[in-house]
């Protein structure tokens, strides 16, 4: 398997136009897609995955899993087969995770328990992101590494015999939790992760689907997760649900564009991912969840969004883990609301694909929206006074961040003047069909 190339793509412009209408399917969930490849590679036997997100981040992880010894085949659109060897072997090449923090951090954890050396790198954004948060617990378990200063990529990880630890997460991060649990699979003893604030639990759920025993207890000091080392994983079938983080873009576009009604089908509604939808409903959004069902052990539903008069709200810090990737698009919804929206506890956004607090503040200001940026909070002053629209009319710098690009394009659809984003090629890391899906609903987005 060859890793995907970086797409070269001219700037994209979203123009204000008519209402958005129609029905679409959400693309596969990125978090679940990464995990299906990694666990499939660690397992013995065949894992068949349907609905895989074929974005660049996940394709990098699929290529990495192949380099680590699994056989990985694409059978059709979103339909993949992974044949694992029951563990990883030393790759002959450098593992390039592209733009993906999830790929890099989960693969480091998964590889740490094997007798191998593996060098990880990534694109310019990933090479700036902190890796110490996973290396620190992996080091306590016995892994070694040599990397650039401040534990930035590229770095070489030396895996081997690990011992189980009890680790209390210093940051609310599902990636750190997952790295420790995946390393714990091959550690001697019982690994415990304690999370003060629960974060997305796809790793725990999927480990169970692969036959592992994972125990979870809620205690006064947080959620405790136990995993006994030495458990073998058996290949299984995974149906990837639609990504709520991607569904958020057409849904918010409908909420802020007069006359719109959009349905997004098959959206993952895991409560640890659904913070944005609860927040939008608090803001007065006409956002309905219908057809609630269970698919591959995850709650899934269809969402219907209609243009709404939104009101500003306070978003408490405790909600951040359940909507961590959705603050950029929430900030756009907030710009069209009446009154102030205060988003607290958003410091982690500063170490995502870009400093998302700073870039949203800059982008919204360039579009005529008043904001107040603090280290750990962002306040957006909505302009909806007597249906007065957001001005728009800016060219926004995205620093290679897919969610900053998509959020500002959505803003441009409902603004007074078009909005242009640079580096739209990065959208393909998480949502390769974004422009087609949005234009299919009636949006005007073009080079
Ligand atoms: C992810 C966890 C989150 C999220 C990222 C995907 C995952 O990161 O921002 O896009 O799949 O575990 P953190 O765990 O670092 O908050």
Which residues contact ligand 1 via a Cβ below 6 A?
31, 102, 173-175, 178, 200, 324-325, 348
**How many angstroms is it from 185 CA to the middle of ligand 1?**
20
Q: Per-residue confidence at 297, pLDDT binned at 50, 70, 90?
A: confident
Mean pLDDT, residues 101-116: 98
Give the start-end residues of each E strand in 196-260: 214-219, 222-228, 237-239
Q: Which of 29, 123, 243, 325 is an active site residue?
A: 325
Q: Per-residue confidence at 257, pLDDT binned at 50, 70, 90?
A: very high
- What are the pLDDT digits (tens) for 177-206? 999 999 999 999 999 999 999 999 999 999
Residue 385: the pLDDT is 67
- Residue 415 phi/psi, 5-degree rounding, is -85, 180
pLDDT at 3 over 50: no
What is the DSSP annotation of 340-376? Answer: EEEEES-GGGGGSSS-HHHHHHHHHHHTT-EEEE-SS
pLDDT at 91 over 80: yes
Residue 296: the pLDDT is 76
Residue 386: the pLDDT is 55
**How many angstroms is it from 149 CA to the middle of ligand 1?**
23
- What are the pLDDT digits (tens) for 24-64? 999 999 999 999 999 999 999 999 999 999 999 999 999 99
pLDDT at 4 over 90: no
Q: Where are the alpha helices (DSSP H) in 226-345?
A: 244-256, 275-282, 327-335
Percent of the chain with pLDDT over 70: 97
b vs e for 413-426, b when ≥16 Cβ sit within 10 Å of the residue's Cβ? bbbeebbbbbbbbb
Q: What is the rounded CA–CA span in Å between residue 429 and residue 101? A: 12
Q: Per-residue confidence at 263, pLDDT binned at 50, 70, 90?
A: very high
Out of 39, 98, 180, 200, mutate this one to test ligand 1's pocket (max ligand atoms within 8 Å of CB): namely 200
pLDDT at 9 over 80: no
Tell me the pTM. 0.97
b vs e for 381-394, b when ≥16 Cβ sit within 10 Å of the residue's Cβ? bbbbeeeebbbbbb
Q: Per-residue confidence at 353, pLDDT binned at 50, 70, 90?
A: very high
Residue 6: the pLDDT is 47
Among protein residues, the one whose CA lies closest to atom 10 of ligand 1? 325
Domains in the chain, CATH or no CATH each = 12-28+242-446 (3.65.10.10), 30-239 (3.65.10.10)
pLDDT at 81 over 90: yes
Out of 30, 31, 429, mutate this one to test ligand 1's pocket (max ligand atoms within 8 Å of CB): namely 31
Out of 60, 100, 102, mutate this one to test ligand 1's pocket (max ligand atoms within 8 Å of CB): namely 102
pLDDT at 1 over 90: no
338 DSSP 8-state letter = B
pLDDT at 8 over 60: no
**How many angstroms is it from 200 CA to the middle of ligand 1?**
8
- What are the pLDDT digits (tens) for 279-291? 999 999 999 999 9
- What are the pLDDT digits (tens) for 214-229? 999 999 999 999 999 9
- What are the pLDDT digits (tens) for 139-179? 999 999 999 999 999 999 999 999 999 999 999 999 999 99
Q: Is 325 a catalytic residue?
A: yes
Residue 356: the pLDDT is 98
Mean pLDDT of the chain, nearest integer: 96
Q: What is the rounded CA–CA span in Å between residue 86 and residue 183? A: 14
What is the DSSP annotation of 32-45? Answer: HHHHHHHHHHHSEE
pLDDT at 2 over 70: no
b vs e for 126-145, b when ≥16 Cβ sit within 10 Å of the residue's Cβ? bbbbebebbbebbeebbbeb
pLDDT at 7 over 80: no
- Choice among 3-12, 63-72, 247-256 with the minimum mean pLDDT: 3-12
């Amino acid at each position: 398997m060859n890793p995907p190339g970086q797409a070269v793509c001219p700037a994209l412009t979203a123009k204000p136009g008519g209402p958005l209408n129609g029905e679409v399917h959400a693309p596969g969930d990125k978090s679940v897609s990464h995990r299906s490849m990694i666990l499939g590679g660690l397992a013995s036997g065949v894992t068949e995955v349907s609905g895989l997100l074929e974005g660049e981040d996940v394709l990098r992880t699929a290529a990495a899993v192949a380099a680590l010894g699994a056989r990985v085949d694409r059978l059709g659109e979103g339909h993949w087969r992974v044949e694992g060897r029951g563990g990883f072997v030393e790759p002959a090449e450098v593992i390039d995770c592209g733009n993906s923090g999830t790929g890099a951090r989960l693969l480091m954890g998964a590889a740490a328990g094997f007798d191998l050396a593996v060098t990880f790198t990534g694109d310019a954004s990933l090479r700036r992101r902190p890796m110490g948060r996973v290396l620190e617990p992996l080091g306590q378990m016995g892994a070694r590494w040599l990397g650039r200063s401040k534990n930035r990529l590229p770095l070489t990880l030396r895996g081997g015999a690990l011992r189980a630890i009890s680790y209390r997460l210093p940051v609310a991060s599902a990636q750190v939790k997952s790295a420790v649990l995946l390393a714990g699979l091959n550690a001697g003893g019982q690994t415990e992760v304690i999370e003060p604030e629960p974060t997305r639990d796809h790793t725990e759920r999927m480990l169970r689907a692969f036959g592992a025993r994972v125990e979870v207890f809620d205690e006064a000091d947080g959620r405790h997760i136990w995993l006994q080392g030495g458990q073998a994983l058996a290949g299984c079938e995974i149906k990837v649900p639609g990504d709520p983080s991607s569904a958020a873009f057409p849904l918010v576009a409908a909420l802020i564009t007069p006359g719109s009604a959009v349905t997004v089908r098959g959206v993952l509604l895991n409560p640890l991912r659904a913070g944005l939808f609860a927040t939008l409903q608090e803001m007065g959004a006409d956002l309905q969840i219908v057809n609630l069902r269970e698919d591959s052990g995850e709650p899934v539903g269809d969402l219907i969004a209609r243009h709404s008069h939104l009101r500003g709200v306070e978003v408490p810090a405790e909600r951040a883990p359940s909507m961590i990737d959705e603050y950029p698009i929430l900030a756009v919804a907030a710009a069209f609301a009446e009154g102030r929206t205060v988003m607290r506890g958003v410091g982690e956004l500063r170490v995502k694909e870009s400093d998302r607090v700073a870039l949203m503040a800059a982008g919204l200001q360039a579009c005529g929206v008043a904001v107040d940026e603090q280290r750990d909070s962002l306040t957006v002053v909505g302009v909806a006074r007597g249906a007065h629209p957001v001005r728009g009319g800016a060219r926004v710098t995205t620093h290679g961040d897919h969610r900053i690009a998509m959020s500002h394009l959505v803003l441009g659809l409902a603004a007074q003047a078009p909005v242009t984003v640079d580096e739209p090629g990065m959208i393909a890391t998480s949502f390769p069909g974004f422009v087609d899906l949005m234009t299919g609903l009636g949006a005007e987005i073009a080079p």
